Amino acid sequence: MLVSDAFNSMLLRGFILAGLAITIASDCTATRADAPQPDASPRVALIIANGSHVRRDEDPVILNARSLADSLRNAGFVVTIAENTTDKKMELAFYDFFEAVPRDAMAIVYFAGRGGIVHGQLLPFPTNMSPLGLPPSNNLSDLMSALAAKKIRGALWLIDAQFTQHFGNEALHIRVPSKTIIAFASMLHGRTAEAGRFGSYLANGIRSGVPGIYELLVQTRMEVLKHSAGKQNPWEIYNAPPEIWAGAFRSR
């Protein structure tokens, strides 16, 4: 009887331990399923590059934008690129991208070219717009709000432009919606062909495996400042935690 009782006691303990193991495994599985998986989010990017009037295969603005597009594709982004866009073509590029962006996506918009402040609006210029022309229907704040309204996980706006004037106090009034990070690399009265460094160094950082968005933007800022001799001055506004971009540039 003593042996039998001991055996039954061992058997009972075995069942209890097995049950605990199953429960713990179930809890771990549930925890893993419920934990945020930023690397599993859809990843999309729109790149608009409005260069100078030279051949596209010689234009540094276009070439740097293409380099960034290649780096993002290698990191798993679905990339749309539009080059030397008129007002209608640029408006359509934004509209089509916003319509197609998946729910819970990590979305990047990169613009390189010329921009300015017109009638109090911060605008990326199409190729057929004079600085004295009337502004298009969208300004940068409206575009950012339209993308954020698509129920995305996070948005990153990258503006690499030669501007017609200093931002001044206008920069403080840029409406940056939630879930959004915006990074500028602005140049004052430079040649359009001098823009594009930002895209080039972003591409290098992505290829090098920089771990997060904050590290990527800081590294890029240092490179742009160094190689432009201070002519192009990058800066960022964060209205989203950098952590949501963890793993976003890691190839799947």
pLDDT tens, 182-194?
998 877 655 555 5
What per-residue confidence (pLDDT) applies to 128? Answer: 83
| pLDDT for the residue numbered 162 | 78
The answer to whether 11 and 48 have CB atoms below 8 angstroms apart is no
The per-residue pLDDT for 168 is: 54
What's the Rg (C-alpha) of the chain?
25
Across the chain, what does the average pLDDT equal? 79
Do residues 69 and 47 touch, judged by C-beta distance below 8 A? yes
More confident residue, 98 or 174: 98
Structure letter (DSSP) for residue 26: H
Q: Is the pLDDT of residue 75 over 90?
A: yes
> Residues 45-56: what's their mean pLDDT?
85
CA 236, 61, 225, 210 torsion-angle sign: positive
pTM of the model: 0.80
pLDDT at 244 over 60: yes
180: enclosing H helix or E strand: strand 180-188
Q: Is the pLDDT of residue 69 over 90?
A: yes
d(Cα 34, Cα 246) in Å, to the nearest integer?
17
Tokens for 187? 């140049």
> Dihedral of CA 85/153/140/165: which sign?
negative
